[in-house]
Amino acid sequence: MNNLKIRQKFLILGFIAFLSLLFIGWLALKINQESFKNSNSVVINFQDTQKIQTLYIEELYILREMILSLVISPNDDYKNDIDKKILPMINSLDGKFSKNLYLDSKYWENYKKIALKTREYSLKGFDEGAFMNTSTVERDSFYDLINQLKGIQNEKLKSSEKKIFELKKSVDNNNFYILIGVLIIGLIGLILDITVIMKLVKNIETIQKGLEKFFDYLNSPTDYKKTLHHIDIKSKDELGLMSEAINKKVKLIKENLHDDYKLIHEATLTLDNLKEGKFGNRLKEEGKSKELNTLKNVMNEVIDSLENKIKEEITQRTNQEKLMMQQSKLAAMGEMIGNIAHQWRQPISEINAVLMEVETITKYSKLNKEHLLESIKICNQVTEHMSMTISDFQNFFKPSKKKEDFSVLSACKKALSIINASLTNNKIKLIFDVQDDNIINGYSSEFSHAILNIISNAKDVLVSRKIKDPKIKISIKVGRKFTVIKISDNAGGIKLEDIDIIFEPYFTTKHAKQGTGIGLYMTKMIIENNMQGFVNVKNIENGALFTIKIK
């Protein structure tokens, strides 16, 4: 068996299995034929029994009943009506008994003769003779005929019982034969399994264990002095040839793998250093594999190019960040100066009015000391208010150094205090809808700055588009997980081609002298990066709606 190929072994097993199937199929066919034959006999006997009952016995009882009715009928009209049914029934039974292969027709002929005699007596008015005939001779003949038919039924039933018994015995015998056949086939299969299949399984397990040892070695190839498991299979089949080929390959791989691993290890360390930002390392080891050496050269070239690009990108990003921050500061400064101008316009007008009054009194009449002191007091109050305004602006734009708990409503009001004068000056109506306030953790000044950027953008659009009855609405709601701030306007909305890029840096719809395009970008960075929240925008019926969600 060791010299046979695996396919030859399986062909032998398949041929034996085919013969076994033929044997079992022959037994099954034999059982089916005998079962069909016996079952058919049983069915025919039961059908004959049923026919005797339905076609003969039941008809005879009906005929007997009608003859009795004829005998006891009170008048001729009744007798004539019954007689019309008797003769057709007798003729029908004549035809049936003539075809009966199981019963001698003399029993029927005898009963028919007596029954017709009774009929004759009754129709001629000889009721005593008809009664005596039907209650003696005719009755005996009737039951003699019925008993003959029942005897035939009994014979049929006994024959069916015999056939069933024979069928059962035949099935038991055939089941015994099948059981013996299955046991023999199973025994042969067991022997073949022990001699062939188990041998194959053992060889496969030997190869599996050898490969597992080899794979364990591959997991730690630095241990190149480790003794590998040799796959030892004696057979000359495919598995034996496979084991020899594997042993040769394993030996060759072991000889070459150590140098290759040193190169791979060096490449891994170099990439790890590159991830950590440590530049300057290059691959130096030489491997046995030509492909690995080619890969080493390619990696060195890629690392050279990558380091240069990373340095260039870092420099470019740093410059861009510096430029963006500078632009942001300049934009914030411009906004602040504009808002200060709006805040100071009214106080300066008040100071100017007081000075003009003092000048007029001085020119055209005598200025008394009390009036002068009162005017100076008014000017001092106005300038103190202007100084407080400057302090508010300084505190607003001063960056927060650490996170703190603060009120969402207070932060929004802080932003409004900066731009409120500008809104009033441009006749923009501010609607403040606060359903609830909430305390959140983060950078209060940055959050107020983000709110201010959105309101300032809405103000600029309302002014530039010259919207009649301009409005800005701010609402604050507190849910289970989020505090939601919504800021909407009636400026007509954002263009569809711009709505997806409105938060990108340097994007602006304003003139170059009016906007830098970093306000909404800074707002997104503050809300999403620093506050771990969400901000989005969409168009509504008459304008745009900005939604901010903070956990």
Angle between helices 106-123 and 127-135 (to 10 degrees): 160
The pLDDT, as a whole number, for residue 65 is 84
Question: How is domain 399-551 classified at the architecture level of CATH?
Answer: 2-Layer Sandwich (3.30)
Alpha-carbon distance 59 to 93, whole Å?
Answer: 8
| Predicted local distance difference test score (pLDDT) of residue 474 | 93
Amino acid at 73: S
**Confidence class for position 488, pLDDT limits 50, 70, 90:** very high
pLDDT of residue 342: 52
Please state the domain extents for the chain.
Answer: 6-193, 399-551
Q: Which residue in the block uniquely carries the two structure tokens 């003949």?
A: 141
* Residue that has been written with the tokens 């009033």 in this structure: 424
| DSSP sequence for 436-480 | ---EEEE-HHHHHHHHHHHHHHHHHHHHHTT-SS-EEEEEEEE-S
What gap in Å lies between CA 325 and CA 323, rounded to an integer? 5
Mean pLDDT value of segment 156-178: 76
Residue 414 has pLDDT above 90, yes or no: no
Give the bridge partners for 535, in sequence order: 548
Rounded to two decimals, what is the model's pTM?
A: 0.38
Asked whether the predicted pLDDT for residue 8 surpasses 70, the reply is no
Q: What whole-number distance in Å separates Cα of residue 34 and Cα of residue 40?
A: 10
pLDDT at 513 over 50: no
506 has a pLDDT exceeding 80: no
**Span 351-367, average pLDDT:** 76
Which string of DSSP letters, residue by residue, matches 85-125? HHHHHHHHHHHHHHH-SSS-THHHHHHHHHHHHHHHHHHTT
154-158, 311-315, 383-387, 498-502: least confident range? 383-387
Q: Does residue 153 register a pLDDT over 60?
A: yes
Distance CA 354, CA 62 (A): 141
95-110 per-position pLDDT tens digit: 877 776 566 778 888 8
- Give me the chain's average pLDDT, please: 75
Q: Kindly give the interhelix angle for 58-71 and 106-123, rounded to the nearest 10 degrees.
A: 20
285-300 pLDDT, tens digit per residue, is 776 667 767 776 777 7
pLDDT of residue 243 exceeding 60: yes
Long-range contacts of 252-259 (CB under 8 A, 24+ apart): 254/217, 254/224, 254/228, 256/288, 256/289, 257/218, 257/221, 257/224, 257/288, 258/221, 258/222, 258/224, 259/285, 259/286, 259/287, 259/288
User: Residue 337: CB partners within 8 Å, gap ≥ 6?
Assistant: none
Whether residue 237 has pLDDT greater than 60: yes
Q: What is the separation of C-alpha 78 from the centre of its chain, rounded to a whole number of angstroms?
A: 85
- Most confident of the following: 189-203, 293-307, 408-422: 408-422
Helices (H) and strands (E) in the chain — how many of each?
A: 13, 7
Most confident of 153-167, 214-228, 229-243: 153-167
Q: In this predicted structure, which of 288-292, 410-414, 433-437, 546-550 has the lowest mean pLDDT? A: 288-292
Q: What's the mean pLDDT in 19-32?
A: 71
What local confidence, expressed as pLDDT, does residue 514 receive?
Answer: 47
Q: How confident is the model at residue 523 (pLDDT cuts 50, 70, 90)?
A: confident
Residue-wise pLDDT for 307-356, tens only, equals 777 777 767 766 665 565 555 555 555 555 655 565 565 567 667 767 77
Task: Tell me the C-alpha distance between 57 and 419, whole Å.
Answer: 117
Average pLDDT, stretch 409-416? 86
User: How many CB atoms within 10 Å of residue 55?
Assistant: 17
In tens, the pLDDT along 452-475 reads 889 888 988 999 899 999 999 999
Asked whether residue 545 carries a pLDDT value surpassing 90, the answer given is yes
Query: Mind listing the pLDDT tens digit for each residue in 130-150?
Result: 788 888 888 888 888 888 888
Residue 534 confidence (pLDDT): 92
- Model confidence at 512, in pLDDT bands (50, 70, 90)? very low
Measured distance CA(183)–CA(126) in Å, rounded = 82
**What is the end-to-end Cα distance of the chain in Å, rounded?**
76
Which of 251-265, 283-297, 421-435 is the least confident region?
251-265
In this structure, the number of other CB atoms found within 10 A of the CB of residue 520 comes to 21
